[in-house]
């Protein structure tokens, strides 16, 4: 679908996804790869949550490009992203329940990530996948 008049909100979603991805890669990369202020400020970070979010950051950017181009696969990628984020969130919940150390801001960030990608995936489904099926 290349007609931007049919899906005007997809450009905004694309910008949000790409910005979210870049910020995720920057913040996660500082903690994972640079032994400095970023890592010290991270406190009791949970490594598997950090790695999951960092790796998904690349997919955020790819999905954002797909949404900019209004490609149906971008919506499927967003569904994968929200699914992977929720699996990580559930594992994080288990980590907390079993007494693992964590930062409260990680919980807030996971709520934000899950919410943002749930909305993006839903809009992608409605605007790209469902419309694609309707045209067949």
Residue 2 in domain = no
Residue 80 in domain = yes
Burial of 61-93, coded b for 16+ CB within 10 Å and e otherwise, reads bbbbbbbbebbbebbbbbbebbebbeebbeebe
Residue 18 in domain = yes
Residue 34 in domain = yes
Measured distance CA(129)–CA(56) in Å, rounded: 21
Residue 1 in domain = no
What is the extent of the structural domain holding 126? Answer: 9-135
Residue 89 in domain = yes
Domains held by the chain: number? 1
Residue 65 in domain = yes
User: Tens of pLDDT along the chain (136 residues)?
Assistant: 444 456 678 999 999 999 999 999 999 999 999 988 888 899 999 999 999 999 999 999 999 999 999 999 999 999 999 999 999 999 999 999 999 999 999 999 999 999 999 999 999 999 999 877 777 7
Residue 3 in domain = no
């Amino acid at each position: 679908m290349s007609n931007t008049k049919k899906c005007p909100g997809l450009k905004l979603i694309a910008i949000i996804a790409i910005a979210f991805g870049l910020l995720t890669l920057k913040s996660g990369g500082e903690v994972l790869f640079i032994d400095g202020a970023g890592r010290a400020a991270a406190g009791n970070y949970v490594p598997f949550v950090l790695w999951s979010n960092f790796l998904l950051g690349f997919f955020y950017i790819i999905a954002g490009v797909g949404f900019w181009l209004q490609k149906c696969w971008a919506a499927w990628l967003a569904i994968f992203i929200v699914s992977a984020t929720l699996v990580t969130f559930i594992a994080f919940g288990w980590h907390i329940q079993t007494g693992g150390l964590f930062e409260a801001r990680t919980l807030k960030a996971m709520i934000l990530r899950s919410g943002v990608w749930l909305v993006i995936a839903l809009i992608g489904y409605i605007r790209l996948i469902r419309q694609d099926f309707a045209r067949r």
